[in-house]
């Protein structure tokens, strides 16, 4: 369950791709340097560095090289845990601009030793300027006067808009900008907004089109003193310790008092949710967890007379999702879900189906940049990778449907940034293995209220009912039931007929998915709960 609030692709952390595309610039802007060396620290490389280099390298009159140096250590170690947890809770896409990246992603640019003397050195390592560095050709980046990205997080926790500055060796700014973010309560979302605009600032500065002062005439904050205080820590060390404590407090709040995703189930006696168009009178029973993990994205399948429920299992301590499964009998779940498929990347939305006498799964994994097919060799365990169905796509919640002799695939696609939940693409194929052909009218729908899938499509009374996520008030806020009015190679239409949200029968803040099989029905969503991550 990856939660959600053009150009060449290069790999980033986890095997994903960070799409690069040029941003608008003045037609008469001239680059300030033709040969640029970018200083980076291998330990603190992130997706935004890859995106920046991709963008800067698109100019034919500019040559880039990399110099690997030791920086200041980057963000506190617990920052990545915070980002992973927020991504899972709030539906934020990963990998992204804040995701740690591998140095090999920048191999095409070569190293500084191969380039000769550069016209300009762009130092993004986070290291402070040495006292004896008087070269006029070095620019360093800081946020609120603090080298490195810690200044961004510090500004977030302080509730202020950070000022990014590129400075020459004398400390005078060559480019200044006050950064903004859409959200100031989800640190990962705001942090990546800030990083995106930092790319804009650097690109403008290198094009000779940046301002050296803020619009109100004020100057960028100066770097803090590097001396030591009575406690034995310099200003930078004190700031790092304070930021570590703030992150720890936020992690505690998220883990112990944050929204917890959960799965609800019930035996269907009489009409199901699609027929009722409301919550059942008896409500739902929660699938129990131990407080150290949550379950979400329920997919049920009836096989050989038994019902098996597949879910995303997110372990707070490990910071990623795996696919787990549990069997059901007449009394409910037989034990607790046990992991059945785990990869290096986060997995969710285990779309499970039966075809050609075997059981198949298409789990969601944004980081892979592919839509993949797995086959069960020892159901419900023993999954093996069978094929890549669609390549070079960042897709969410791939859902298959067999209709009028063809197979159809529905998925929301994130291309060039933006939401994971508002852009519906279709593919069709003669067989579920492919080859898959993209619909000529992709994207067939742009609507954050009904594009993203919320479970398998159901045939009912000659109609096709598509469960959809209504994300207008946040990821998975409500469940919609959409009737498919047209589905062919020339067009697609749907009409949302029902919207169901949390309520007395399903307390909480979100209602996210719907799945049913073998006389059982399953939903999921979130509510405030105390978890036991650290116990």
Residue 180 lies in a domain: yes
CB atoms within 10 A of CB 225: 10
Q: Please report the pLDDT score of residue 310 as a whole number.
A: 98
Structure tokens at 34: 């033709």
**Domain of residue 404, CATH code:** 2.115.10.20
Q: Please report the pLDDT score of residue 258 as a whole number.
A: 59
Which residues 6+ apart lie within 8 Å of 412 measured at CB? 395, 396, 397, 420, 421, 422, 423, 424, 425, 451, 452, 453
Residue 5 lies in a domain: no
Q: Please report the pLDDT score of residue 131 as a whole number.
A: 56
* Secondary element (H or E) of residue 406: strand 406-413
Residue 524 forms beta bridges with which residues?
A: 263, 513
* Residues 363 and 417 grouped into a single domain: yes
* Residues 218 and 308 grouped into a single domain: no
CB atoms within 10 A of CB 252: 13
Q: Please report the pLDDT score of residue 186 as a whole number.
A: 85
Domain of 347 in residue numbering reads as 258-447+504-528
By CB atoms closer than 10 A (0-12, 13-18, 19+), residue 249 is: exposed
**Closest to 391 in 3D by CA, of 3, 24, 9, 2:** 9
* Residues 151 and 90 grouped into a single domain: yes
* Residues 64 and 153 grouped into a single domain: yes
**Domain of residue 137, CATH code:** 3.40.50
* Secondary element (H or E) of residue 203: helix 187-206
Residue ranges with strand state E in 418-490: 423-429, 437-438, 445-446, 458-460, 463-470, 478-488
Final residue of a structural domain among 253, 286, 314? 253
* Residues 202 and 301 grouped into a single domain: no
* Residues 199 and 113 grouped into a single domain: yes
| Positive or negative torsion for Cα 249, 255, 257, 260 | positive
* Residues 282 and 187 grouped into a single domain: no
Residue 476 lies in a domain: no
* Residues 362 and 235 grouped into a single domain: no
Residue 110 lies in a domain: yes
Hey, is 163 helix, strand or coil?
strand
* Residues 154 and 217 grouped into a single domain: yes
- Cβ–Cβ under 8 Å, residues 491 and 499: no
Q: Please report the pLDDT score of residue 197 as a whole number.
A: 83
* Residues 245 and 268 grouped into a single domain: no
Q: Please report the pLDDT score of residue 437 as a whole number.
A: 98
Phi-psi region of 139 (alpha: psi -120 to 50; beta: other; left: phi over 0): beta
Which residues 6+ apart lie within 8 Å of 80 measured at CB? 100, 319
Residue 483 lies in a domain: no
Structure tokens at 483: 């009737």
Q: Please report the pLDDT score of residue 524 as a whole number.
A: 96
* Residues 249 and 319 grouped into a single domain: no
Final residue of a structural domain among 253, 281, 297? 253
Say which residue the tokens 């690997």 belong to: 68
Final residue of a structural domain among 204, 233, 253? 253
Q: Please report the pLDDT score of residue 296 as a whole number.
A: 95
- pLDDT by residue, tens only, the chain of 535 residues: 544 332 223 223 333 333 333 343 433 445 678 899 999 998 899 999 999 999 998 888 889 999 998 877 688 888 888 888 888 777 777 788 999 888 888 888 877 555 578 889 999 988 876 655 555 689 999 888 888 888 888 888 888 878 889 988 888 888 888 887 767 778 898 899 889 888 988 988 898 877 787 766 666 676 544 332 323 334 455 556 778 888 888 877 776 665 678 999 999 999 999 999 999 999 999 999 988 889 999 999 999 999 999 999 998 777 789 999 999 999 999 999 999 999 988 899 999 999 999 999 999 987 778 999 999 999 999 999 999 999 999 899 999 999 999 999 999 987 765 667 888 999 999 999 999 999 998 999 988 889 999 999 999 999 999 999 998 777 788 999 999 999 999 999 999 999 999 999 999 888 999 999 999 999 999 876 655 444 4
* Residues 212 and 113 grouped into a single domain: yes
What size, in residues, is the chain? Answer: 535
Domain count, the chain: 2
Task: Say what the pTM is.
Answer: 0.63
């Amino acid at each position: 369950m990856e939660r959600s609030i053009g150009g060449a692709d290069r790999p980033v952390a986890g095997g994903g791709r960070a799409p690069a595309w040029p941003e608008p610039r003045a037609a008469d802007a001239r680059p300030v340097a033709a040969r640029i060396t970018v200083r980076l620290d291998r330990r603190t490389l992130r997706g935004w560095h890859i995106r920046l280099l991709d963008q800067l390298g698109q100019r034919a009159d500019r040559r880039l090289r990399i110099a690997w140096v030791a920086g200041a250590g980057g963000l506190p170690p617990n920052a990545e845990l915070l980002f992973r947890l927020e991504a899972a809770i709030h539906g934020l896409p990963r990998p992204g601009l804040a995701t740690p990246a591998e140095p090999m992603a920048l191999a095409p640019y070569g190293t500084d030793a191969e380039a000769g003397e550069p016209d300009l050195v762009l130092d993004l390592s986070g290291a402070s300027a040495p006292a004896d560095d008087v070269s006029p050709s070095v620019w360093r980046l800081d946020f609120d006067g603090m080298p490195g990205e810690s200044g961004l997080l510090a500004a977030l926790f302080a509730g202020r808009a950070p000022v990014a500055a590129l400075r020459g060796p004398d400390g005078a700014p060559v480019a200044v900008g006050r950064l903004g973010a859409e959200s100031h309560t989800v640190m990962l979302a705001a942090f990546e907004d800030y990083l995106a605009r930092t790319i804009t600032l650097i690109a403008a500065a290198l094009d000779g089109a940046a301002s050296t002062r803020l619009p109100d005439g004020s100057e960028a904050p100066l770097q803090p003193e590097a001396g030591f205080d009575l406690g034995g820590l310099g200003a930078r060390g004190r700031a790092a310790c304070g930021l570590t404590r703030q992150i720890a407090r936020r992690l505690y709040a998220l883990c112990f008092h944050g929204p917890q995703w959960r799965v609800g189930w019930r035996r269907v006696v009489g009409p199901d949710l699609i027929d009722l168009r409301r919550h059942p009178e008896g409500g739902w029973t929660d699938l129990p967890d131990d407080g150290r993990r949550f379950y979400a994205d329920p997919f049920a399948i009836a096989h050989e007379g038994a019902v098996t429920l597949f879910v995303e299992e997110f372990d707070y301590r490990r910071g990623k999702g795996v696919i787990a499964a549990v069997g059901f009998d007449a009394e409910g779940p037989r034990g607790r879900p046990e992991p059945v498929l785990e990869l290096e990347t986060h997995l969710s939305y285990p779309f499970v189906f039966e075809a050609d006498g075997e059981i198949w799964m298409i789990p969601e994994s944004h980081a892979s940049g592919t839509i993949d097919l797995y086959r069960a060799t020892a159901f419900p365990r023993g999954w093996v990778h069978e094929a890549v169905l669609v390549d070079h796509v960042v897709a969410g919640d791939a859902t298959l449907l067999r209709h009028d002799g063809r197979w159809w695939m529905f998925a929301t696609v994130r291309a060039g940034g933006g939401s994971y939940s508002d852009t519906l693409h279709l593919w069709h194929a003669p067989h579920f293995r492919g080859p898959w052909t993209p619909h000529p009218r992709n994207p067939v729908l742009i609507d954050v209220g009904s594009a993203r899938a919320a479970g398998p499509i159901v045939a009912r009374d000659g109609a096709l009912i598509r469960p959809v996520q209504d994300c207008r008030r946040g990821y998975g806020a409500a469940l919609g039931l959409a009737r498919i009015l047209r589905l062919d190679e020339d067009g697609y239409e749907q009409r949302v007929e029902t919207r169901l949200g949390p309520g007395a029968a399903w307390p909480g803040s979100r209602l996210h998915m719907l799945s049913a099989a073998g006389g059982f029905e399953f939903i999921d969503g979130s509510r405030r709960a105390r978890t036991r991550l650290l116990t």
